[in-house]
């Protein structure tokens, strides 16, 4: 078992179709602040989140399910790291959150 944490979705202010889906053991508001400090040009806002068990596995399954929607990895101008958890998802719904919830439910059975 990999523990309890949060699955969160950050949405780009410049393009509402770009979402970052990740996990954290701290509250997602804290994770958002870390992103705003380390990568200010990304301009993310917290779109949604939920608390769950099996958080690492839930994130892994969510990324696997959404693999065809993944944005190409690029090197960030701010932190110089390669961001890999970015996806292109519709603006009008919480596709990422729905997929993450379903992934978590599958782990509970």
Query: Cα separation of 89 and 66, whole Å?
Result: 9
Q: Is 46 exposed, middle or buried (0-12, 13-18, 19+ CB in 10 A)?
A: middle
pTM: 0.82
Q: Count of domains in the chain? A: 1
Query: Cα separation of 109 and 99, whole Å?
Result: 16
Domain of 29, in residue numbers = 4-108
Closest CA to 15 of 52, 43, 51: 43
- Tens digit of pLDDT for each residue in 55-105? 999 999 889 888 888 988 778 888 888 888 898 887 656 666 677 777 776
Helices and strands, number each (H, E), in the chain: 3, 6
């Amino acid at each position: 078992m990999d523990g309890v944490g949060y699955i969160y979705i950050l949405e780009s202010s410049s393009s509402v179709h770009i979402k970052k889906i990740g996990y954290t053991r701290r509250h997602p508001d804290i994770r958002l602040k870390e992103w705003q400090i380390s990568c200010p040009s990304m301009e993310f806002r917290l779109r949604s989140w939920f608390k769950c068990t099996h958080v690492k596995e839930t994130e892994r399954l969510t990324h696997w399910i959404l693999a065809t929607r993944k944005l190409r990895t690029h090197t960030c101008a701010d932190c110089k790291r390669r961001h890999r958890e970015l996806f292109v998802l519709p603006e009008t719904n919480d596709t990422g959150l729905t997929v993450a919830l379903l992934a978590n439910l599958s782990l509970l059975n």
